[in-house]
Amino acid sequence: MTDNSVLQLRENGQITLPTSIRRKSNLKAGDLLDVKVEEDGSIRLTPQMAIDRSQAYFWSKRWQAGELQAEKNIQTGKVEKFDNVDDLINDLESDK
């Protein structure tokens, strides 16, 4: 079931989301919303989470692609295990 409400646009373009919608969406004051205008003119609000700048690299497309590849490699057994750090370093430095 969806909540439908008619909202009035106030000065400066402000709207107020009804309490029932905020509760159902678990929205709190200060939360971020992504706003997308669809081709048909409808507006979609999607809750977003702020990412600490020091962690933003992790959510880049490049990093996430690497994470997916690493997960696939682990699942398919394409990994090497080393008994110690020296063996790992020697493997990294070798011309395979």
28: containing domain = 11-48
Quote the strand ranges of the chain, DSSP E.
Answer: 32-37, 43-48
Count of the separate structural domains present in the chain: 2
For 17-52, the pLDDT digits (tens) are: 999 999 999 999 999 999 999 999 999 999 998 888
CA distance 70 to 66: 6
DSSP tally for the chain: helices H, then strands E: 3, 2
Answer whether residue 26 is part of any domain. yes
Answer whether residue 1 is part of any domain. no
**pLDDT number for residue 50:** 84
CA distance 37 to 45: 9
84 and 57 housed in the same domain? yes
Token pair of 53 as six digits = 């700048």
CA distance 43 to 63: 31
Work out the pLDDT band at 96, boundaries 50, 70, 90. Answer: low
User: How much is the mean pLDDT over the chain?
Assistant: 92
Answer whether residue 4 is part of any domain. no
